[in-house]
Amino acid sequence: MKKYRLGEFQELVLMTVIVLQEDAYGVEIQRNLEERLNERLSVGAIQTALKRMVEKGFLTSAFGEATQKRGGKRKRIYQATPYAHRVLHEMKDIRSSLWQAMPDLGLSST
Amino acid sequence: MSGTNNYIIPPKWPLKFLRFLLKEEYLEEIEGDMEERFRDNLELFSANKARRLYAWDTLKLLRPTLMRGLRGYYRVNHTAMLKSYFTVAWRNLLKQKAYSTLNIMGLCLGIACVLLIAIHLNDELSYESSFPKHECIYRVSFEGWAKSAPPMAEILAEFYPEIQQTARFYYMYPRILRYKEFQSEEDHGYMADSTAFSVFDFKLVQGDPQQIFRTPHSMVVTESMARKYFGDENPLGKVLMNNSTEFQVTGVVEDLPSNTHLRINFLVSMATFYKDIPENMTDSRGWMATYTYALFNEQKDVKKARERLPELLLDYYKEWGTPEEILAKMNWTFMPLDDIHLHSSLIQEMGPNSDIIYIYVFAAIGLFILLIASINFINIFTTQSLKRMKEVGIRRAIGAKKNQLLGQFLGEAFMVTLMASTLAILLFTLVLPFYNQLAGKQIVASQAFSVDNLLIIVGIILTVGLLSGLYPAFFVSGFSPLKALAGAKKPRSSAGIMRKGLLVFQFVVAVFMVVSTLVVYQQMQYFHDKKLGFDKDQVVAVNLFGDLKQKFAENGAALKAELIQSLNISHIGTASNLPGDGLSVESVVPDGVPEDNELPTVKVLRVDENYLSTLQIELKEGRNFSRQFNDSAAFIINETAAKLLNIDDPVGSYVTNQTRNLHGPIVGVIKDYHFSSLHNPMEPLVLEYNPNWNNFLLVKLQGGKIPETISGLEANIQKIVPNYLFNYQFLDDRINLLYQDEAKMSTLFKFFALFAIMIACLGLFGLSAHASEIRTKEVAIRKAIGATITQVVQLLSREFIVLVMIGNLVAWPLAWWAMNQWLDNFTYHVAIHWGVFAVASGLSLLVALLTVSYHAIKTALANPVDSLRNE
């Protein structure tokens, strides 16, 4: 997994981007993720993850429309690359194979 | 989203911050996100909380990925640019000679001060660190006594397997040593266990470690002492005489470092102790005679050892009472060796220790001086950089990035700091010997520049450089190119809010220090002038020992009469101790008090019948001791003791000194007099008639021709005992010694307060120069219209005087509070007088006025034609 260098938090942000589709811009991603994780995130944390993933080729981005709420600033809409999709799937496979390989210790919560 | 919140806008400064620090291509998006987030928060929280969250989020944006680098984005010819920076910086320094000098001088003074303080603190904090095992060495003390009973060491070693070794020191008295014809007073001599050498790792230069302490009366001396007595001769095997005892030198150790509380010139084998001192003493569990140090295997063992201490005490003091009583009374402690210098002030310490409070005070002073110096720098640098607006404007206009300007000005600030530091180090080296004298230290320059201290020095330079360079650099690089070019001709008012605030702060510190200095000084004067209840002036205390002591014990009255007759002397008395000495603490009980009714202990002093008259201590009731009444055991008590012992009619009643097993009448009651330092409250005192216990001869001189009288005294005494080493001190000197800590602090305070004011005034000088300069034209026009010189001077100085006054107002309550805290250390102290504040503010205003008026008068006197023609 090491070659992808996709951290846990980055992975969450990446998946949120895919979930949100056309709505995937900074604060919207943050709102969505905060709801799911049930904790406060900072703009800095989200932005760092986004920028890092752009650098690594997981995301592309383009400016979207501006709104009054943003003080007239444009949104930047993010989109996952095919490469990102592939990496996500590989990670999921690795995880599920590990889950299957884990012995049942009677600790499952369900 | 509701429209009502639209008028609320996020705070401005974080945005500025962002724009400055974040990569430009990210700005639009992130600003937008922040704004949107802020709107969201407004829906959820109060406006204030939303603003707070906004600011907090801004800070969290400071991540490497998002921030721009400090380097510009374009590859330029860096060397050429750097060269240009240096040329410009250098030319600028030369162009503004007066300001540059001010700036460098102020900073140099400040850094030199801080260096002194830093090195001083480093030295204070390094106490005992030169002993390799210092962390595992603990001193055993007992109920507030630095010393403990001689058998204690062995008991501890037996009880605790964790204790590797113990070492004891027993102070040797009398202190005069003689080698052939040469004799000298030698303080700091101890009888010691041979284990002392391994516990403290004393470095033996000569002698066989196995043999040095084999026999009684073996002596190991330090190198400097060996040199003093034997010169170039080989010290081994030489014999030193003390009184009538012979000591054979069996070894030489290296001198101890200055940063230890152990002050040792020579050590004598512990076997001597057991040979020369009676067994009932050396075995006594109540005789607090030896300093006992225990070396633990590991530092963590001590905690366990402390927990098991009650077990040992209960066993050791079995017959002394119930377990509760024993544990309440018998308070043994293990004090870390490293804590002794700064945290210990017990009865009978080896020497005066320092106090952690002084460390804090000094650190604070250092910090403040550093701040004052840096503020100066900031103020002068920013005002001067206003003149360089044109340069900044042009640089920006032709494409310099903010960062580059920031780098340039920060670089310039560092250049100046570096120059100032170099000078400061020079100054520091020059001042060091003088400072050593003031502070009672022995720091040598070479030691001051050890690796440790060099790190401190580099740290200080970096801090000052950053502290004083950052703000001006931001300030300058923040000029917008347009404004900078347009405004290049006329920099605005001299003092912005920032500069005013900083100036006020400087004077707060300076005034605070002046007030503190004055209060400390007053307290010192108070010590000096306080009525102690006895007359300390013109009293000489002569050390008695050996034959002379013997002769005075046998035939005192006749010898005294002879001395009084032949010299200009009015009284001679003898005493076991001098005022200020630690007195013997004993249990004195009036007859008829039931045995289980325990009375507190009292201090006991042994005197002869002339003691009271020599020191002119007032008798309240009863009579003085007298030979006629054959006072074999008689007591005089002070008022506090009378109250404490609760005797209705003390004179004539009988008491027993249980400690010494003496029974006798109280013959008199004296008025309380301060026999110990004024740090302590008045304590109960019992004077016991005992002319044989005469460690000191107290000689009251009769005024005039003091040197002659003293040399006459010496000659007379040497007639009684030939070759006697005449050793004396003035009683008032002895008493001043009690306050030497405070005296030292007072001197240092004066020194640093002076520095603080000087540095603050340098800043004021720079600012007022600038203020006058930019108002030259205004003044010229005013004069042309008919303003008088006085009016002009007033105009130019008013602003500064107001600022200095504000500084005063802020400083007063602070100083008042701090000095009250300090004064609380003393049982007897002065009240803070309003005059102190008056003097401090008067002084600060005067100095400020002088500083400012120099420029004001210069400007006011200038011919208006000259300044106006230049237009």
What is the predicted pLDDT for the residue at B205? 92
What is the rounded CA–CA span in Å between residue B509 and residue B815? 9
Distance between B406 CA and the closest CA of chain A, angstroms: 25
Alpha-helical regions (H) of B289-401: 301-316, 323-329, 337-343, 356-386, 389-397
What is the rounded CA–CA span in Å between residue B440 and residue B748? 11
Q: Is the pLDDT of residue B488 over 80?
A: no
Q: Is the pLDDT of residue A38 over 80?
A: yes
- For the residues B202-212, what does the mean pLDDT come to? 90
Q: Is the pLDDT of residue B712 over 50?
A: yes
> Among residues B669, B733, B726, which one has the least CA distance to residue B697?
B726
pLDDT band of residue B96 (cuts 50, 70, 90) is confident
Interchain contact, B66 vs A26, CB within 8 Å: no
Distance between A46 CA and the closest CA of chain B, angstroms: 10
Choose from B6, B31, B33 for mutation: most chain A CBs within 10 A: B33
What is the predicted pLDDT for the residue at B484? 66
What is the rounded CA–CA span in Å between residue B691 and residue B696? 11
Q: Is the pLDDT of residue B358 over 60?
A: yes
Cβ neighbours of A69 in B, within 8 Å: 1, 35-36, 39
Longest CA pairwise span in chain B (Å): 109
Cβ neighbours of B40 in A, within 8 Å: 27, 31
Q: DSSP state, B691?
A: T
pLDDT band of residue B137 (cuts 50, 70, 90) is very high
Distance between B844 CA and the closest CA of chain A, angstroms: 49
As a whole number of Å, the CA-based R_g of chain A is 16
Interchain contact, B35 vs A71, CB within 8 Å: yes
pLDDT band of residue B494 (cuts 50, 70, 90) is very low
Cβ neighbours of B57 in A, within 8 Å: 42-44
Using CB atoms, pick whichever of A43, A66, A71 lies closest to residue B61: A43
Distance between A25 CA and the closest CA of chain B, angstroms: 9
Cβ neighbours of B32 in A, within 8 Å: 26, 66, 70-71, 73-75
pLDDT band of residue A108 (cuts 50, 70, 90) is low
Q: DSSP state, A67?
A: -
pLDDT in tens, B656-686: 888 788 888 899 999 999 888 887 788 899 9
State the CB neighbour count (10 A cutoff) for residue B526. 16
Cβ neighbours of B66 in A, within 8 Å: 44, 47-48, 51
Interchain contact, B37 vs A30, CB within 8 Å: yes
Interchain contact, B28 vs A42, CB within 8 Å: no
CA nearest A49 in B: which residue? Answer: B65
State the CB neighbour count (10 A cutoff) for residue B305. 20
Q: Is the pLDDT of residue B2 over 60?
A: no
Reported ipTM: 0.85
Q: Is the pLDDT of residue B286 over 80?
A: no
As a whole number of Å, the CA-based R_g of chain B is 36
Q: Is the pLDDT of residue B495 over 70?
A: no
Half-sphere exposure of B756 (CA within 13 A, CB side): 29
Q: Enumerate chain B positions whose Cβ falls within 8 A of a Cβ in A.
A: 1, 26, 28-37, 39-40, 56-57, 60-63, 65-66
Q: And the tokens for B570?
A: 């009015």
CA nearest A51 in B: which residue? Answer: B65
What is the predicted pLDDT for the residue at B852? 81
> Among residues B484, B668, B572, B480, which one has the least CA distance to residue B16?
B480
What is the rounded CA–CA span in Å between residue B778 and residue B791? 13
Chain B contact for A52 (CB, 8 A cutoff): yes
Interchain contact, B61 vs A42, CB within 8 Å: yes
Torsions phi, psi of B625, nearest 5?
Answer: -60, 155
Distance between A5 CA and the closest CA of chain B, angstroms: 15
- For the residues B285-290, what does the mean pLDDT come to? 80
Cβ neighbours of A52 in B, within 8 Å: 65
Q: Is the peptide bond before B174 cis (omega within 30 degrees of 0)?
A: yes
Beta bridge pairs of residue B584: B604
Helix (H) or strand (E) holding B461: helix B451-477
CA nearest A26 in B: which residue? Answer: B33
Q: Is the pLDDT of residue B3 over 60?
A: no
Instruction: Name the packing angle between helices B740-774 and B97-125 (round to 10°).
Output: 160
Interchain contact, B26 vs A47, CB within 8 Å: yes
What is the predicted pLDDT for the residue at B255? 92
Q: Is the pLDDT of residue B95 over 70?
A: yes
Choose from B28, B31, B38, B67 for mutation: most chain A CBs within 10 A: B28
What is the predicted pLDDT for the residue at A4? 59
> Tokens 């509701």 — which residue?
B2
> Among residues B382, B359, B420, which one has the least CA distance to residue B110?
B420
CA nearest A68 in B: which residue? Answer: B36
B93-103 residues labelled b (16+ CB within 10 A) or e (exposed): beebeebbebb
Q: DSSP state, B67?
A: B
B682 vs B76, which has greater pLDDT? Answer: B682
What is the predicted pLDDT for the residue at B761? 79
B228 vs B661, which has greater pLDDT? Answer: B228
Cβ neighbours of A74 in B, within 8 Å: 28-29, 32
- For the residues B161-183, what does the mean pLDDT come to? 85
- For the residues B356-371, what does the mean pLDDT come to? 85
- For the residues A82-105, what does the mean pLDDT come to? 89
Chain B contact for A35 (CB, 8 A cutoff): no
Distance between A109 CA and the closest CA of chain B, angstroms: 35
Mean pLDDT of chain B: 83
Chain B contact for A44 (CB, 8 A cutoff): yes
What is the rounded CA–CA span in Å between residue B748 and residue B741? 11
pLDDT in tens, B429-479: 888 888 888 777 777 777 677 777 788 778 877 887 787 778 777 777 777
Helix (H) or strand (E) holding B763: helix B740-774
Q: What residues of chain A, 59 to 98, have a C-beta less than 8 Å from chain B?
A: 66-67, 69-71, 73-76
pLDDT band of residue B595 (cuts 50, 70, 90) is low
By DSSP bridging, strand B662-670 and strand B654-657 are: antiparallel
Cβ neighbours of A42 in B, within 8 Å: 56-57, 60-61
Distance between A78 CA and the closest CA of chain B, angstroms: 12
Helix (H) or strand (E) holding B99: helix B97-125
What is the predicted pLDDT for the residue at B632? 72
CA nearest A27 in B: which residue? Answer: B33
Q: And the tokens for B173?
A: 């008295």
What is the rounded CA–CA span in Å between residue B354 and residue B341? 6
Cβ neighbours of B61 in A, within 8 Å: 42-44, 47
What is the predicted pLDDT for the residue at B73? 47
Using CB atoms, pick whichever of A25, A44, A69 lies closest to residue B39: A69
pLDDT in tens, B721-747: 887 777 788 888 888 888 877 788 788
Q: And the tokens for B483?
A: 């404004």
CA nearest A66 in B: which residue? Answer: B32
Interchain contact, A74 vs B62, CB within 8 Å: no
- For the residues B615-619, what does the mean pLDDT come to? 90
Three-class secondary structure of residue B747 per DSSP: helix
Distance between A108 CA and the closest CA of chain B, angstroms: 37
Using CB atoms, pick whichever of B28, B39, B62 lies closest to residue A73: B28
Choose from A55, A73, A77, A78 for mutation: most chain B CBs within 10 A: A73
Cβ neighbours of B67 in A, within 8 Å: none
Using CB atoms, pick whichever of A27, A51, A52 lies closest to residue B36: A27
Interchain contact, B26 vs A30, CB within 8 Å: no
Interchain contact, A74 vs B29, CB within 8 Å: yes
Task: Give percent of chain B with pLDDT exceeding 90.
Answer: 16
What is the predicted pLDDT for the residue at B74? 47
Q: And the tokens for B98?
A: 């007066």
Q: DSSP state, B156?
A: H
Distance between A44 CA and the closest CA of chain B, angstroms: 4
Tally C-beta pairs within 8 A across A and B: 69
- For the residues B139-144, what does the mean pLDDT come to? 82
Q: What is the Cα B614 distance to its own chain's centre?
A: 36
What is the rounded CA–CA span in Å between residue A16 and residue A18? 5
What is the predicted pLDDT for the residue at A1? 43
Q: DSSP state, B204?
A: E
